[in-house]
């Protein structure tokens, strides 16, 4: 299976999780690529209008997609939102979603960001297989291992 892991990551937390997912899915015999969503302009909520994507990753070649992003201001990081809004149809694509975040409380944006990603994918007929939230605290390695194992079992 050809799997694309598409991530936005400013300080590499999300990217490092993507690399671990890639490693595990490769070991299971898949062809897996990690692509970054980068932008010119700001990535703060107040900069949203200024954001322009730089070479947005093409998803057409992948059977399975994993989207990852940080939580910003209790919501999905704006660059990822803009990227996902401009995606073509996701019909027949199996999809997993994850976010990383710093604050441990439930109401600090993780579920909201996952909900935003889910809605964007479902509006384009994608099939959501699973989701995960990694809180970037001292227990994160355990959580990342759990997420990697969970995602490996989804496809
Ligand atoms: C502008 C900004 C806003 C953030 N807002 C939140 C937030 O609302 N809730 C939260 O839990 N973490 C928040 N964070 C922390 C990031 O989500 C967290 O550090 C994440 O793991 C960063 O991922 P990255 O290294 O892939 O960019 C914020 C970080 C930045 C830079």
Domains of the chain (ranges plus CATH)? Answer: 2-152 (3.40.50.360)
Position 46 scores a pLDDT of 63
The model carries a pTM of 0.96
All residues at 6 or more sequence positions from 153 whose CB lies less than 8 Å from its CB, including other chains: none
All residues at 6 or more sequence positions from 63 whose CB lies less than 8 Å from its CB, including other chains: 1, 2, 3, 93, 94
Three-state secondary-structure class, residue 72:
strand
The Å distance, Cα 101 to ligand 1 centre, comes to 5
The CB of 81 under 6 Å from ligand 1? The reply is no
Position 109 scores a pLDDT of 96
Which two structure tokens, joined as six digits, stand for 24? 């595990």
Reply yes or no on whether the pLDDT at 75 is more than 70: yes
Compute the distance between CA of residue 25 and CA of residue 41 in angstroms, rounded to an integer.
33
The CB of 10 under 6 Å from ligand 1? The reply is yes
The CB of 94 under 6 Å from ligand 1? The reply is no
Closest alpha carbon to 67 in 129, 133, 5: 5
Compute the distance between CA of residue 152 and CA of residue 13 in angstroms, rounded to an integer.
20
Closest ligand 1 atom to 13 CA: 25
Under the banding of pLDDT at 50, 70 and 90, the label for residue 135 is very high
The Å distance, Cα 135 to ligand 1 centre, comes to 10
Please report how many Cα atoms fall inside a 13 Å half-sphere around the Cα of residue 124, on the Cβ side. 17
Which two structure tokens, joined as six digits, stand for 19? 């690399």
Position 42 scores a pLDDT of 63
Which two structure tokens, joined as six digits, stand for 150? 């969970």
Backbone φ and ψ for 33, nearest 5 degrees, come out as -120, 145
pLDDT digits (tens, 9 = 90+) for 85-106: 999 999 999 999 999 999 998 8
Q: Name the helix (H) or strand (E) containing 14.
A: helix 13-27
- Arithmetic mean of pLDDT, 32-42: 90
Residue pair 74/15 in contact (Cβ under 8 Å)? The answer is no
Closest ligand 1 atom to 110 CA: 11
The Å distance, Cα 30 to ligand 1 centre, comes to 30
The CB of 22 under 6 Å from ligand 1? The reply is no
């Amino acid at each position: 299976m050809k799997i694309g892991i598409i991530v936005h990551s400013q300080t590499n937390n999300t990217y490092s999780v993507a690399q671990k997912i890639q490693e595990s899915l490769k070991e299971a015999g898949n062809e897996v690529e990690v692509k970054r969503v980068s932008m010119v302009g700001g990535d703060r909520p107040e900069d949203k209008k200024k954001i322009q994507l730089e070479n947005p990753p093409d998803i057409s070649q992948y059977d399975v997609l994993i989207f990852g992003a940080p939580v910003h201001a209790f919501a999905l990081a704006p660059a990822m939102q803009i990227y996902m809004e401009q995606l073509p149809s996701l019909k027949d694509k199996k999809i997993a979603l994850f976010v990383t975040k710093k604050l441990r409380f439930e109401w600090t944006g993780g579920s909201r960001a996952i909900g935003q990603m889910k809605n964007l994918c479902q509006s384009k007929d994608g099939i959501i297989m699973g989701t995960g939230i990694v809180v970037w605290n001292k227990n994160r390695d355990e959580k990342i291992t759990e997420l990697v194992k969970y995602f490996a079992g989804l496809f």
